Amino acid sequence: MKVGNDGANDKRPNETRPGEVTGGESGESLPLPLPLAAREQRFDIRIARDGTWFHEGDPIRRIELVKLFATVLRRDEAGHFWLVTPVERGRIVVEDTPFVAVEMAASGHGDEQVLSFRTNLDEWVESGPDHPIRVVHNPENGEPTPYILIRNGLEARILRPVYYEMVDRADTRGHDGEAEVGVWSKKVFFALGRLPGG
């Protein structure tokens, strides 16, 4: 397979590094080291902001193939994305995040609540200490973009309708003299934003 683009890097705002939590505890899932013995290739693969995978400019239509690639997807400490096997590795372009959270399920209430998210590749994760939620606010218009850590430094961008479901389940609490809105999951409070005038 023809591989990649030397300009592959994380192009989204990075106010908080993946694995860090806004308003909660630090996540334990960190980027994995890349195998140095693997031969570096050049892969012409890109993951668009909507989660669509492209190879040589054409969308990869076989979901099974995309899921297979996702199992060998890694992110290094510099924020670059790689496909890594025991014998080869190559950088790929990720426009925002490699996954998109397309559905949410909730159980329980208050700090006993558990929020579960399904990615576009049908992987479910429960938000909590190991899968923190973070929100990045656009500095120009204040628009929030929420993310959840899936594994090993790989995040999913939470789609707007799913974010609104989170807001519907939000609580308010005081923090450092300010009021903030957020959601509980597995006894961790994840801040979504601050109240006006808070």
To the nearest 10°, the Cα dihedral for 30, 104, 23, 47? Answer: 40
Quick one: pLDDT at residue 160? 96
CB-count exposure of residue 176 (10 Å: 0-12, 13-18, 19+):
exposed
How does pLDDT run across 41-94, given as a tens digit for each residue? Answer: 778 999 999 999 999 999 999 999 999 999 999 999 999 999 998 888 899 999
Residue with the two structure tokens 């579960």: 116
Q: Which amino acid is at 121?
A: L
In angstroms, the CA 171 to CA 89 distance is 44
User: pTM for this one?
Assistant: 0.78
How does pLDDT run across 107-166, given as a tens digit for each residue? Answer: 999 999 999 999 999 999 999 999 999 999 988 888 999 999 999 999 999 999 999 999
Q: Which H, E and C letters describe 113-159, residue by residue?
A: CEEEEEECCCCEEECECCECEEEEECCCCCCEEEEEEEECCEEEEEC
* Residue 141 token pair: 């218009």
